[in-house]
């Protein structure tokens, strides 16, 4: 069996793209999906880049 590798990444800039409430909702949704995928697939790694 061959291995298939994917790289996942998310970069959200909620202040630039959306009003605060919309940006927060997008961030929560993104992390919720990533957490679900971590539970579903062994070895799934999620990376998020944030700039402070």
- Per-residue pLDDT of 1-52, as tens digits, reads 898 887 777 777 766 778 888 888 988 998 999 999 999 988 888 887 766 5
**Token pair of 32 as six digits:** 């919720």
Q: How far, rounded to the nearest angstrom, does the alpha carbon of residue 51 sit from its chain's CA centroid?
A: 15
Residue 24, in any domain of the structure: yes
Distance separating alpha carbons of residues 18 and 26, to the nearest angstrom: 9
Residues of the domain holding 20: 8-48
Distance separating alpha carbons of residues 46 and 40, to the nearest angstrom: 13
Q: What is the pLDDT of residue 13?
A: 76
Query: Domain total for the chain?
Result: 1
Distance separating alpha carbons of residues 17 and 3, to the nearest angstrom: 37
User: pTM for the complete prediction?
Assistant: 0.70
Residue 3, in any domain of the structure: no
Q: What is the pLDDT of residue 50?
A: 66
């Amino acid at each position: 069996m061959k291995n298939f590798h994917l790289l996942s990444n998310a970069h959200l800039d909620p202040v630039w793209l959306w009003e605060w409430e919309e940006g927060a909702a997008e961030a929560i949704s993104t992390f919720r999906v990533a957490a679900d995928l971590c539970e579903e697939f062994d070895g799934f790694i999620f990376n998020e880049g944030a700039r402070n």
